[in-house]
Amino acid sequence: MSKSKHLSRCEPQRATILAMAPAATRASSSPGSFGLAWVLLCLAFCAHVADEALTGFLNVYNPTVIAMRARISWFPMPTYEYREWLIGLIIANLVLLALAPLAYRNARGLRPLAYFFASIMLLNGVGHTFFTVLGRTVASVHFPRPAPGFYSSPFLLITSIYLFVRLGASRQAKVG
C-alpha cells in the first residue's frame, strides 16, 4: 500500500480525534470537576506500585507485618506473595482508572471514595518518607535508605493534596 493511500485512510480517524479534543479539554479543565486530579492520583499510584515492585517493598513489608503480629496479636494487615500482591494492585489501579469518567462528571457517589483514596495515598506517601528518614519500620526491620517506594512518594503527596483541593472546589458544582 502506498503511503498516500495509507494517509488518506487515516484521515477520517484523525478528524474524529481532532473533533473530540475540544470536548476532552473542556471536561479536563472544568472548574467543577475533580476528574483531572483523580486521574493524576491514579497515575501516581501506578508509578508508586512500579516503584515498590522494583525496589523490593515486600522484603520490608512482610517482615514488618510479622513483627507487628508478634507484638500485637490482632494486627490486621496480611502478608503477601509477590504475584498476588502485584496482580491485586494492578486490578485496583485499573478499577480506579475506570472510575475516571465519573470523576469528570463530578459524580456525588464517587466523592466518598475519592476522599478515602486521597487520604490513603497521602498517608502512604508520608509513611514512605517517614520510614526513609528512620531507616527502619520496626526495631527488627532495617533497610538501606531510601525506603522501597520512596521515589514515587512525592507524587502521591502532591496528587492526593490536589485531589483534596479539587474535591473541595467542586463540592457544589454541577458538571455535565
Average pLDDT rounded to a whole number, residues 11-38:
60
CA atoms within 13 A on the CB side of 50: 8
User: For the segment 48-100, what is each residue's pLDDT rounded down to a tens digit?
Assistant: 999 999 999 999 999 999 999 999 989 999 999 999 999 999 999 999 999 99
118-138 pLDDT tens trace: 999 999 999 999 999 999 999
At residue 107, φ and ψ (nearest 5 deg) are: -60, 125
Question: Which residues, in sequence order, are CB contacts of 167 under 8 Å at separation 6+?
Answer: 34, 37, 111, 114, 115, 118
Q: What share of the chain is helix, strand, coil (3-state, %, to 5)?
A: 70, 0, 25
Q: Which has more pLDDT, 171 or 17?
A: 171
Q: Work out the percent of the chain whose per-residue pLDDT is above 90.
A: 73
